[in-house]
A and B are shown apart, each in its own frame.
Chain A
Amino acid sequence: MLLIVEFVWGAYRVIRCKKVSKTYGSALNRVVALDQLEIQIDSLEKVAIVGRSGSGKTTLLNLLSGLDRPTSGSLSVNGMDLGQLDSAAMADYRLKTVGVVFQSFQLISQRTAAQNVELPLIIAGEPAEVRAKKVSQSLRKVGLGDRANHFPYQLSGGEQQRVAIARAVVKQPRVMLADEPTGNLDSKTAAEIMQLLMQICENEALTLVLITHDLELAGKYTDRQLVMDDGKLIETKSGQNGTVAASVDCP
Chain B
Amino acid sequence: MSWLDIIRMAIHNLRRRPFRTILNLLGIVLGTVMVLMTMAGSEGVKHALHSVLESSDFTRKVIARRTSKVSEEDLDQSRWKISQPMSAARRERMEESLKKFLLEEKRKTDGRYRQINQETLKQFGELHNVIEVVPQLRVNFKLSMGEFDQTIYGEGVSPKVSGLNERIVSGEMLTASDRNGILIHELMAYRMGCVTQQELDALVGTEVVCSFKTSGKPNQLASALTAIEGGDLQKLVSQNPLILGFIKQLGGNVDNLRSLTDEQKQLLRKSIGSFGESDSPQPPVVERRFKIKGVYHSIAEDNLFDLFSQLRFDSKRPVLFHYETATDLQVDVGGIKEFYSATLHVDRFAHVKQVEDDLGELGYDTFSARSMIERIDNRISRISRVIYVVALIILVVTGIAISNTLIISVMERTSEFGIMKSLGARDNQIVGLMFVEGALLGAVGAVLATLASLLIGMFGQSLVRDYVEGRVNEQVSGEMFMFSPWATLVALMVSVLLCAVASVIPAWRAARLDPIVAMRKN
B partners with A: yes
When the two chains form the complex, which single residue of B12, B418, B420, B515 contacts A123, counting CB atoms closer than 8 Å? B420
Q: Is B463 an interface residue (CB 8 A)?
A: no
Q: Is B5 an interface residue (CB 8 A)?
A: yes
What is the CA–CA distance of A96 and B1 in the complex, to the nearest angstrom? 14
What is the CA–CA distance of A125 and B416 in the complex, to the nearest angstrom? 19
- The answer to whether A67 and B16 have CB atoms under 8 Å apart is no
When the two chains form the complex, which single residue of B2, B13, B415, B422 contacts A67, counting CB atoms closer than 8 Å? B422
Category for how many chain A residues contact B: 20 to 34
What is the CA–CA distance of A208 and B429 in the complex, to the nearest angstrom? 29
- The answer to whether B424 and A95 have CB atoms under 8 Å apart is yes
8 A Cβ contacts from B203-222 to A: none
B427's nearest neighbour on chain A, judged by CB, is A87
Q: Is A62 an interface residue (CB 8 A)?
A: yes
- The answer to whether A62 and B516 have CB atoms under 8 Å apart is yes
Say whether chain B's binding surface is mostly helix, strand, loop, or mixed. helix
User: Which of A28-36, A102-110, A195-203, A229-237 lies at the interface?
Assistant: A102-110
- The answer to whether A67 and B9 have CB atoms under 8 Å apart is no
When the two chains form the complex, which single residue of B13, B17, B424 contacts A124, counting CB atoms closer than 8 Å? B424
Say whether chain A's binding surface is mostly helix, strand, loop, or mixed. helix
- The answer to whether B13 and A123 have CB atoms under 8 Å apart is no
When the two chains form the complex, which single residue of B416, B419, B425, B522 contacts A91, counting CB atoms closer than 8 Å? B425
Asked, given contacts A91-B424, A167-B423, whether A67 binds B5 with beta carbons under 8 Å apart, the answer is no
Q: For residue B519, which residues in chain A have a CB less than 8 angstroms away from its CB?
A: 102, 104, 106
B415's nearest neighbour on chain A, judged by CB, is A106
Q: For residue A111, which residues in chain B have a CB less than 8 angstroms away from its CB?
A: 12
Task: Bits for A97-133, please: 1 = Cβ < 8 Å to B, else 0.
Answer: 0001010101110110001000110111100000000
- The answer to whether A123 and B1 have CB atoms under 8 Å apart is yes
- The answer to whether A122 and B5 have CB atoms under 8 Å apart is yes
Q: Closest Cβ of chain B: how far from A61's Cβ, in Å?
A: 10
What is the CA–CA distance of A111 and B422 in the complex, to the nearest angstrom? 16
- The answer to whether A110 and B424 have CB atoms under 8 Å apart is no
8 A Cβ contacts from A2-16 to B: none
- The answer to whether B516 and A67 have CB atoms under 8 Å apart is yes
Q: Is A88 an interface residue (CB 8 A)?
A: yes
Q: For residue B516, which residues in chain A have a CB less than 8 angstroms away from its CB?
A: 62, 67-68
Q: For residue B422, which residues in chain A have a CB less than 8 angstroms away from its CB?
A: 65, 67, 94, 100, 106
- The answer to whether B416 and A96 have CB atoms under 8 Å apart is no
- The answer to whether B425 and A110 have CB atoms under 8 Å apart is no
Q: For residue B424, which residues in chain A have a CB less than 8 angstroms away from its CB?
A: 91-96, 120, 123-124, 171
A173's nearest neighbour on chain B, judged by CB, is B424
Residues of A within 8 A of B (CB): 62, 65, 67-68, 87-88, 91-96, 100, 102, 104, 106-108, 110-111, 115, 119-120, 122-125, 167, 171
Question: 19 extra interchain contacts, Cβ-Cβ under 8 A, other than A67-B422, A110-B416, A123-B423?
Answer: A62-B516, A65-B422, A67-B515, A91-B425, A94-B423, A94-B424, A102-B519, A104-B519, A106-B415, A106-B422, A106-B519, A106-B522, A110-B17, A119-B423, A120-B423, A120-B424, A122-B5, A123-B425, A124-B424
Pairs A–B under 8 Å by Cβ, sample size 11: A67-B421, A87-B426, A93-B424, A96-B424, A104-B519, A106-B422, A106-B519, A108-B419, A119-B419, A122-B1, A167-B423
